[in-house]
Structure 1
Amino acid sequence: MTEACSSLTFLTLYDPTSDNLSQSFHINGEIKSGLVHQPGAVCVGKPAPHIELKIITEDSSRVGKILTRGPHVMLGYWAQISPKTSDTCDEGWFDTGDIGEIDEYGNVWLIGRSKGRIKTGGENVYPEEVEGVLSQHIGLSSVVVVGVPDTRLTEMVVACVQLRENWRWVDSPSYCSAEKDNQTLTREILQRFCIEKHLTRFKIPKSFLIWRKQFPLTTTGKLKRDEVRREVMSCMQFLSSNL
């Protein structure tokens, strides 16, 4: 079985969601088995035998751009005079545009797309990772995360959320409920949820906006993140001007 993602092809050697750890893999002379779960990321298994992968990082993190090399890589783009050249495309390596990491067992984890990256406080945040964590909350039906300009942080992480039926949003920071089954959400509740899910603190949204309509999609069903970002910026400018 194979799974296609961007320009990569992955070979499923085992079911990464299974609790059966009887299968083992030989890595750097050691026998290892299992799965290292990454919050907000999607495991796509191991690359097929004919595919080379490497991760290009900007810091000490293991997360970075996914580059691939092999017979599956295209020669260039249609009608382009010369193949795309860059520091990350030398020696046959192709920048997939995907962001992820490879764990100690050789599993590839996809986190997001490089073009959607948010730069906040000198750190990189990939919206898909934050969305993956927030979408686990029972009170949210849909989440889109964007970065908006900020004078102090360069960009601020903002989450646009849609609530499930019978859930309500409270803006008051002093709100506190002692009832465990209370179907009420606040910024503080969602931020605390992110911490409980082990999301790194600089990735936790600073602001939350209630989105009361459908998120804009392309004809192929892909999210128009830039359009959401523009609407969030317009909304926040309007709120600031009315303070």
Structure 2
Amino acid sequence: MAWLSLILTCLMVYINHVYTLEVEYDGQMTMKLEHALGTEASPDFTDRGVIEILSIRNAAVVMKQNQLTDDERRQLKALSDDDGWYLLKATFSSGDSREAKLRTFVKGCALYESGLSDSLTISLDHTGWPVGISMMTNPPYCDGRIVHPNDLRNFNTTVFIRHMEQGPVPDTATYIQKIEREKEARERGETKDNRSFLAKYWMYIVPAVIFLLLTGAVNPEGAAGGGR
């Protein structure tokens, strides 16, 4: 049993080491934003701005988002009137040349009535790389509110970063102690097998029953003759 204890101990050390690395992981990346304000089936995406993520652990960001032009404000109003969808495309890049392209969307009327007040939630995997993005407006619903054009110039964006939740670390130390106690009890003869007769010897009984059934099926005449 010593080898099993050694393996479980090494596994516990490895899991704790990986868990520590993931919790302490930090990094920087750039998120380029493009949006589509058209009502057509395949709208064109235009530049919305750039968000520099200086720390994914602390969600420290620097935003450089463009003002909406007069034409873009009219497009957003038309999108709201037509009950269309506002589409957002985010392109993430980091210093190691990796790139990820993710999309999200909200109701055009929700963005219009919020006065361009939105929040972006970025979901990261266990390595700290983005695997999902979601967008929400404040308020998140449409109630037909009229918005003055001057309130549709600048985006008021909040960025949230969601890290992958860690599962519970196995309590291998307690498990090892339990195995050691069971081993010592067996060596002292303290453990008793309280299983029933069938539970103990089913591996011998089942083959015998199957053999008898197969024998009767192969020789039905002999079995019938023996009864006369």
Q: What is the TM-score when the length of structure 1 is the normalising length? A: 0.19
- Which structure carries more helix by proportion? 2
Higher strand share: 1
TM-score with structure 2 setting the length: 0.20
Larger radius of gyration: 2
Structure showing greater relative contact order (alpha-carbon pairs closer than 8 Å, 6 or more residues apart): 2
